[in-house]
Amino acid sequence: MQTAIYSGLLLSNMLTLPGPPFICPSGNCTWDPFSTLSVNVDCSDMTSAVALNCSVDHSNVSTTDNGTTKCTFVSPNDTLLADMLVNASNNMFLVLDSYLLRDSLSALSTYANVTGVLATVQWVRVADFLSAENFDAIQPDTPYEAGRWLLYLSVDEIQAQVTNSSYSEEIMQEWTYCPLPSQAETLNGTTFAFWSPFNFGDDLVYQPPFAPGRSFSITSDDFDSLRSTILNTFSSSIIVGAAEPGTVNTNSLKTNDTVYGEDFWALMLVKADNMTRAMVNMASYMTTARRANDIALPQASTHNSTVLAPDQIAAGTVWVPTQFTVVRWGFVALPLVTLVLSAVFLSVVILRTRQLRIGIWKSNPLTLLLQTQAERPQGFDNFLAGKNLATASGMMDAAKTVDARTVGAPVLAIELSVRE
């Protein structure tokens, strides 16, 4: 789980996070909504609760310099932020701390029904780290931002799908409350449903209404281990700022004249484009790691890579590409009309040919001699009457005893005679 925490913090600029293990043979799948225990984070923008307290530093005054104005972070109206910033100095570019629930109740009244709260983390940092580093101190015009994060356990109903081999999921519903034998803390008349690390033996059992008949539980030991891992990661104030001579800790990371806290990922956080995304990524990595472990453990124990944990099985649908033929009738209208007209024309020709008793003569030139009404010798019509002139082969047989010659000049004519 510690690896998942570091992965989320260090990869704060990733837009697409790794998905949990899944099987989708076609690369396009959908799953029915399923429920799972998740690590989530609620982020609040606290920039408006922070201000700069500026004063003139006369420590390096010269004949041409009346002193440099340097500033520190303060919080006039937020008790929890004020306590964190009480010892802040003008060269602290990032201040971050985590708290036990009992030490941060004043900031958590709106989360009274969230049982599985893991930790509260808050931070203040300069928004333009490179400019602040050049001045070695916070200036009156230095942009800054602040935030507060609440990490907690919940049961999420998730809709997952794979489109073109890319996994994505959407949280449909969230359930954060589970009954405990005893309430953990109260403050100013508000009773908090938080699980307390001092109520040993109280397991967390979630029974969300969108998963009837199912329970999602985590033992008190596992929950306390997860909570302790987060708190130990942010175990004390992380201070990132310009180095002061004589105060550099040899265990700290140092680049040029800048000291970064002993935690190696502090530099990544102070330079991250989005601090909130870093925390959201961390929660997502922790959830994915927990879901992956539920699958990896039974696979390792059975030496079977196809074994799935029962609470991680979700029914789904595999979409397989199928070819369909779409007929665009507008494009085939002209060929269809042409085909229909051709059939009509052919039918009319056949019908008319039969009515006129026209034979199947094709391109035979004997048609001009034997079928026309030209002048013929006496008795020639009687000769043709006994012949089959309806076909080209019939005319060929009749012409075997017919002689033809050209006569007359200058206008030629054809003279026919029948041989005996």
Q: Are residues 312 and 343 in the same domain?
A: no
Last residue of a domain, one of 318, 342, 358: 318
Give the Cα separation of 327 and 163 in Å (integer): 28
For 199, residues 6+ apart whose C-beta sits below 8 A from its C-beta are: 180, 181, 182, 184, 220
The DSSP 8-state label assigned to residue 91 in this structure reads T
Give the residue carrying structure tokens 């601090």.
275
Give me the pLDDT at residue 258, please: 45
Q: Are residues 73 and 194 in the same domain?
A: yes
The number of domains in the chain is 2
Q: Are residues 300 and 345 in the same domain?
A: no
Q: Are residues 161 and 28 in the same domain?
A: yes
- Look at residue 201 and tell me if it is in a domain: yes
Q: Are residues 242 and 346 in the same domain?
A: no
For 293, residues 6+ apart whose C-beta sits below 8 A from its C-beta are: none
Give me the pLDDT at residue 119, please: 87
Q: Are residues 177 and 102 in the same domain?
A: yes
Going residue by residue through the chain (420 aa), what tens digit of pLDDT does each one get? 777 777 777 665 555 566 666 778 888 888 888 888 899 999 999 999 999 999 886 665 444 445 578 889 999 999 899 988 888 888 788 888 888 777 788 888 788 888 888 888 888 988 877 776 677 778 888 899 999 999 999 999 989 888 888 888 889 999 998 887 665 567 666 777 777 766 656 788 899 999 888 888 888 888 888 888 888 887 655 565 554 433 333 333 334 344 444 566 666 777 777 888 888 888 888 888 777 766 666 667 777 766 666 666 777 788 887 888 888 888 888 888 899 999 999 999 888 887 877 776 677 777 767 777 666 777 777 777 777 777 778 778 877 888 777 777 777 777 777 776
Q: Are 252 and 259 in contact (CB under 8 A)?
A: yes
Q: Are 412 and 384 in contact (CB under 8 A)?
A: no
End-to-end distance of the chain based on CA atoms, in angstroms?
Answer: 119
- Look at residue 282 and tell me if it is in a domain: yes
- Look at residue 279 and tell me if it is in a domain: yes
Q: Are residues 289 and 398 in the same domain?
A: no
CA atoms within 13 A on the CB side of 351: 6
- Look at residue 264 and tell me if it is in a domain: yes
- Domain containing residue 368: 330-418
Last residue of a domain, one of 267, 298, 318: 318
- Look at residue 334 and tell me if it is in a domain: yes
Q: Are residues 151 and 226 in the same domain?
A: yes
Q: Are residues 132 and 247 in the same domain?
A: yes
Residue 124, CA distances (Å) to 97, 251, 268, 309 in order = 10, 23, 15, 41
Q: Are residues 240 and 335 in the same domain?
A: no
Last residue of a domain, one of 261, 289, 318: 318
Amino acid at 379: G
- Look at residue 345 and tell me if it is in a domain: yes
CA atoms within 13 A on the CB side of 304: 6
Q: Are residues 280 and 339 in the same domain?
A: no
- Look at residue 324 and tell me if it is in a domain: no
- Look at residue 323 and tell me if it is in a domain: no
Q: Are residues 229 and 340 in the same domain?
A: no
Its sign, for the CA torsion 163, 165, 170, 174, is: positive
